[in-house]
Structure 1
Amino acid sequence: MQYRIVERNAFQVIGINREFPYDVENGGLQEYQNFWTEIHENGTVDQLNDLKEGATKGLLGIWAEVNKEENRMDYYVAAEYNGNVPHGLKKIDFPAAKWVIFEIQGPFPSAIATMWERIYSEWFPSSGYVPSSIKPFEVYLDTDATNPNTYNEIWVAIK
């Protein structure tokens, strides 16, 4: 498992969000695909790609609010950006923190799902760290589903 630990000052991201079922196995996955198709078609992905700046080089996938009991979660597609929030987008502020950045190589998106499992079942139990309350996120650098060796990242704030 390849990872690095970095300290970051506070930063902000901007993006668009949608609420989804927490249980993605029962219809939620199709809703995610529909959301991504919609924001590709309406130009939001292009807008976020044009605005992104900072240490996170790709678009971000952020689960901002998760409620397992009510089977819902709020998911953002966002980009790191410092400035005024453009119309139609929302801002999330991240405080200064220590982050562990997991490097993911493999087929998209299954390699990301596998890495999430390994982070919580292998890395945290053996690392001496615990996740902070700051929302983790995925960094999408290569989402070509035909490429068996994409590179993406998962960022988790730690303490």
Structure 2
Amino acid sequence: MDYRVVERNAFRVLGIRRTTSNGGTWGIVKFDGTREKMEELTGQKCDLGLCFGFDSEDNNDYMCGVEYDGEDIPGYDYYQYPNTAWLVFAAKGTISSGVLGQTWKRIYGEFMPQSEYRQLDLPTIEKYIKWNETSDVCNVEIMIPVQK
């Protein structure tokens, strides 16, 4: 699998964090105007999805947001990442083919078990470069915090 290692200084994410089924957090921020409001308030594109994990019923604790180093804004959630290394994988293809899910499966089914890296207990990130359901285009970077 192709990947790259990126060292990042500490950074903070502002967003909306919810526990939902089937990626429901994106549905919330896309349809209630929250995504546009975040972009307006921060001047940043809302392109990050932080995955905190799944509960016993397969509900996903997920945060949609933007990288942000400004003052706290009431009504939003925050997550602070420390300095760390990241494995970055590309999920490129069609949405309808399930390329994003397939890439996640390959990372955890093939790459990580034989890798020299150990995942840290921090949320993973999906960085949405392009996601267009009309033209069926997926270009997402999957970022996994690790140590060697």
Using the size of structure 2 for normalisation, the TM-score is 0.84
Does the aligned pair in 2 maintain the 1:52–1:81 contact within 8 Å? no
* 1:22-46, Cα deviation, whole Å (9 max, x unpaired): xxxxxx32x71xx434422332111
Q: Structure 2 vs 1, CA of residues 157 and 52 (structure 1 numbering), >3 Å: closer, same or farther?
A: farther
Residue 61 (structure 1) shift: 1.3
Instruction: Work out the CA distance in 1 between the residues paired with 2:142 and 2:66.
Output: 14
Q: Deviations over 1:12-65 (max 9, x none)?
A: 000002222xxxxxxx32x71xx4344223321113334265xxx761112225
Does structure 1 residue 36 correspond to structure 2 residue 26? yes
2:40 paired with 1:62: no
Which runs of 4 or more aligned residues in structure 1 lie more than 3 Å from their structure 2 counterparts after TM superposition? 35-38, 70-73, 146-149
Match runs of 1:68-79 below 5 Å? 68=56, 71-79=58-66
**Is it true that 1:143 corresponds to 2:131 in the alignment?**
yes
Larger helix percent: 1
With normalisation by structure 1, the TM-score equals 0.79
Identity of aligned residues (%): 30
2:145 maps to 157
Q: What residue is the counterpart of 1:90 in the other structure?
A: 77
Please, what is the CA RMSD of the aligned residues? 2.2
Question: Is the 1:48–1:59 Cα contact (8 Å) retained in structure 2?
Answer: no
Structure 1 residue runs without a partner (length 5+): 21-27
| In 2, Cα distance between equivalents of 1:128 and 1:62 | 24
How many residues were matched structurally?
A: 145
**Which residue is equivalent to 1:115?**
103
1:82-109 CA-to-partner distances (Å, cap 9, x unmatched) read 1112221111011111100111111137
Pair 1:38–1:134, CA change in 2 (3 A): closer
